[in-house]
Structure 1
Amino acid sequence: MEKRGISPIIATVILVVITIALAVGVALWMSGIIGGAGRGEQLGILPDSNMTLSSSDNNNYTNATIWLHVKNSGSADAQIIAVKLNGVNLPSSDIQSNSNTQSSSNTQTSVPITVKAGSDVNFTIKVSSSDVGLTSFTPGTSYQVTIITSAGGSYSTQLTAISK
């Protein structure tokens, strides 16, 4: 019985498959799908963020305080330039940064708010229901909060309103 090696046809098929797999890998890397995943800003709105309603009279919730905890897990600083509630831009004067864990200072600043790469920031937004075209807010209702950055990033979360 004569021992034979792998047939030339099978060897050719294996080489073609390996070449195609390598070409796809290089193409993905070059287009940034794999290699660019960690570049730039990468904001996340953390789950301890909340929306608290306050009643002015007769349990009519016309004012809310949104507290956001935002982390930048990317490799570039992010600048928050706007915040939206249910798609409506909130007045920038209502947005106040409380603290930035990147530094020990506890300064109050309005937008733009810089979130350094690898750090997080907390900020509050005092909003009136009329700012977003509502008569009042409803406890237990989910509202969509969206952060807009100077790089064009848009990061959203749903917050359920709770009453004090």
Structure 2
Amino acid sequence: MVTNKRLFQAYVSPCSEETPLKDRKAVSPVIATVILVAVAITVAVGVAYWMGGISTQYTQFEKVEIQTGYATRDTLGWEITLSLKNSGSATATITHVFVNEVPIDEAEYASSGFGTGIDQVDDGEMGTDLPVAGLSLQAGASGTVTVYIDYDYGTLSAGTTVNIKLHSAGGMDYIKLIRLT
């Protein structure tokens, strides 16, 4: 015959005090919390480094600084020299030059071999030494752009301030005001 005590022991849950698991110890809640926080911080740092690596690949930018700009005068007109530096992280290509919002269509004067700069500009016109394909500046590189303006162009005279705008292939505009001497 089965006694009540034996029947009771047969149906006792494993969590009851009468089982042999009573002598086992579990991880305390404090230690479990510390381990969980350490794992979470490790994962967060890993994700931050990964996102940082991805963001630098897709967030390169061009930034051309016109460091100096000055105008010199000779017998035929003005020669405006601009010193540039690409302080951005991507290559910048200067494709167009504007004087007072008027585009200069004639380019490559200094490299054509038929004289230099202002000697080649037609009467009443403007020109630049910018290559037809544009002036490409790698990140950190410097360059120079020269603009030639004939004396007979428009109403310009000594003492006039002209707005020189450089336009890049990336759609950026870089502006410098130059006073003609």
Counterpart residue number, 1:121: 143
Superimposed CA distance per residue, residues 8-41 of structure 1 (whole angstroms, 9 cap, x where no aligned partner): xxxxxxxxxxxxxxxxxxxxxxxxxxx9xx7311
SS at structure 2 position matched to 1:46: strand
* Deviation of the 1:75 alpha carbon: 0.2
Structure (1 or 2) with the greater helix fraction: 2
Counterpart residue number, 1:41: 62
**2:63·2:86 contact (CA, 8 Å) conserved in 1?**
yes
- Taking a change above 3 Å as real, the CA distance of residues 154 and 96 of structure 1, as seen in their structure-2 partners, is farther
Counterpart residue number, 1:4: none
Structure 1: runs of 5 or more not aligned:
1-34, 57-62, 98-107
**1:92·1:110 contact (CA, 8 Å) conserved in 2?**
no
**2:65·2:84 contact (CA, 8 Å) conserved in 1?**
yes
Among 119, 126, 151, the alignment partner of 2:170 is: 151
Larger Rg: 2
One-letter code aligned to 2:71: M
Among 68, 73, 80, the alignment partner of 1:53 is: 73
Give the Cα separation in 2 of the matches to 1:110 and 1:55: 25
- Taking a change above 3 Å as real, the CA distance of residues 95 and 80 of structure 1, as seen in their structure-2 partners, is farther
Structure 2: runs of 5 or more not aligned:
1-55, 112-128
What is the number of equivalent residue pairs in this alignment?
A: 110
Give the Cα separation in 1 of the matches to 2:167 and 2:106: 12
Structure 1 stretches (4+) deviating beyond 4 angstroms?
94-97
Q: State the TM-score, normalizing by the size of structure 1.
A: 0.57
**1:95·1:123 contact (CA, 8 Å) conserved in 2?**
no
Give the Cα separation in 2 of the matches to 1:94 and 1:109: 5
**1:53·1:64 contact (CA, 8 Å) conserved in 2?**
yes
Among 64, 89, 93, the alignment partner of 1:75 is: 89
SS at structure 2 position matched to 1:75: coil
Counterpart residue number, 1:89: 103
Q: State the TM-score, normalizing by the size of structure 2.
A: 0.52
One-letter code aligned to 1:54: D
Percent identical pairs in the alignment equals 25
Give the Cα separation in 2 of the matches to 1:119 and 1:54: 30
Pairing of 1:133-144 with structure 2 (within 5 A): 134-135=154-155, 137-144=156-163
One-letter code aligned to 1:116: Q
* Deviation of the 1:117 alpha carbon: 0.7
Give the Cα separation in 1 of the matches to 2:148 and 2:130: 14
Q: Which has the higher contact order (CA 8 A, sep 6+)?
A: 1
**2:61·2:89 contact (CA, 8 Å) conserved in 1?**
yes
